[in-house]
A and B are shown apart, each in its own frame.
Chain A
Amino acid sequence: MKIKSIILIIAIIFTSCENNFDPNAEYKETFAVNALLRGDNNFQTVTIVESINPSEFHSGNNETKFVENADVKVVSGDQTYFYKDSLIFDANNNPIHFYYNNEIEVNENKNFSLEVELPNGEKLTALTYVPRFFTFEGGASNSVIDPTINFGITVQWRISAQDLFFHPQLYVNYSVIENGIEQFRRLEIPNSYITRDGKMEGKFSEPSSLKSFSVDYNTFAIALESLREITPVPGNIKIYNAELVLKVYDENLTKYYSSTNVVANAFSSRVYGSDYSNINGGLGIFASYMVHSYRMLISTDYIKSFGYSFVEE
């Protein structure tokens, strides 16, 4: 009887040790500003989002809380650009409140400052600088894509600033005749292919600090071959040229991208992630990037080998 009582007491002790435990600290409202200045367009946007209480989030409400009615302005030199409030809907018909200005020209070697006044009176500020001096290295880059004269496709560039990230994307500009109408399109060429479930999948380049882009002809050929799926008549496809589109991130965007792409392995759930922000008083990013492009010809014999049409030189 005594032993049974002891066992019962121990069982009660152990089973009563249920975890009534809250992993959250006291909730504190925080705001994130996302403002990228793009060099290829004067249309610039800003979004402001509010943080979500963990209990609300875990109960399934993780909708982005956009902040409306804030005053947003960007200053560069003696120019001040005020942003307007607007609304669009995403693919799932969720509203996205954003601010825009379509007069900001982003040029190299230029400073910009951002000032946001929230409806609650809180002020958030940030600075960014567009890096200067970028050029493609013509001598070290292909000008013609032709497997008979080089072993692969390479483009190199240089820039005076250190440590920046670049996002190169190689496209083939082509057109296809559909219903008698010529449609202009472009095909992004992956860096490589992998086979998954018996199917080939392209693996595309990601932003990195590498100052060159290269792809082998085998990958390039597989990508070009895939155009045959568009139309049963290869001759309806006309190949124009190849173009490397390169986005050059400024230092803030480089840091931000780097912090959002810390990759652990399958067993390494990090419990303390780094979260880069240059927004004073809040979270998010104010940064800029420039877009440059480098065109390459594709040899006619090479295009012909696929059965496609080409543009007469």
Chain B
Amino acid sequence: MLILDNIPALLVAIPLLASAVVSLLPSARIAWGFAFFTTLICLYMAVELVGIISSTQALSYAFGGWEPPWGIVFVLDSANVYLVLLVAFVSVIATLYAYTMLAREIAVEDLPKAYAVWLLAIASLFGLAMTGDAFNLFVFLEISALSSITLIALGAGQDRRALLAAYNYLIIGAIGATFYVIGVGYLYAATGSLNLIDITDRLNELGTNQAAITGLAFMLAGIMVKAGVFPVHIWLPAAYSFAPSAVSSLLAAVATKVAIYYFARLLFGIFIDITQLVDFFLLYILMPVSVLAIFYGTIAAIYQSDFKRLFALSSIAQIGYITFAFSLNSHSGISAGFIHIINHALIKGALFMAVGIFALGIGSRATMSSMQGVGRQMPITFAGFVLAGLALIGVPLTAGFISKLYLFKAIFETGNGFYVALIALSSVLSVLYLWKIFEVMWLKEPVQPLKSDKEPASAYLPVWLMVGVIMIFGVYSGEVISSGIGAANALIGAR
């Protein structure tokens, strides 16, 4: 079948072409319908891909018939196929959510163009997740950055500080991307190849090579900026908190996750011949930095009163959990990291969506003072919000519990009980900020009537779809766990 054979290319090409069409459509409704239809097709193709990978293990798609290592390839294996599915699923839900929410936050005449950029961002995320070419990745990284920046800047209609957040992201993101290109240059100078699999083979032949090590260090630094890893996260809180809520939920859910996946692939896929250096990096740099990220994010969130900024800060802590799991440098650690990538994407997506609905209800930003009693006025959204919040803490029967369980399991395997205590402490701290929100929203009397009479069903339906998946993954967690183990198998071999 022509279509089935070309799914990897079509996953990028269809949203890319659709984005050009959408920008020309006259009305916002038609544009939304077209965009939604496109994301549905992508979801269908992603499901097909999972089927293909589960039977064939790995798939390499060479563009234009140029065989690797000469041509550009898309590589799919059990490490990234679930990520592709995750991006496809979240983009469907977020587009559904955008129907009501984006329309109320930005000017009507801008909507078709906004959906065009929206599809561009989705296309680039698919590309980032699949590409097996180091330089091609840079191109997708920049498409993703430029489209995200444009989407964030759309928040200027609500709050002009969105422009500053977008500008900061542009500068910091461009420095990160340029660092990545410098790294690719070094690696190319050392190996003469851009294909990641080919680079690995050639590095194994070369042995320890200073240029290659420098190159990989530059590449990792660049990717860390994009992933929002702790010391270089500074663009993230402002960007997520001033973007329109539909954009926040899409970006917070999947944009950083795709970068984190690639970070893991670089760390464990390529650094084969210099394990000593990798061990050093993981144990003495990434692990302390992750612990700092977890505590910085959580404590800063406790002191934060703006809801969106609070959850953006908590994202930094959650990314800290993922990098912490990776830094354990074991099969179970990598599995735990990938399980948390999926679970946290769903949880944070749902939380940002719910906060957007609350803000819309009261007609101003969601803060501790403006949100008093809003939970009582919007009970359906609030119930979903609370469930997602419980999942964020890691309460049993939610997907978050599975993440924490596997993280603890991975830590116990390394035999360091100290870190178990640290992670447990950070979970307790995260209860604090969620309790604070619960107290304000549910236990206090409502102070003002809602601007819009009731919760729009088209807005809380996506929240509940996400929450539904979170709860299902909390109980029937087999699929997620096996995807995490599959990812670890693909990256460092079965154990």
Chains A and B come from one and the same complex: no
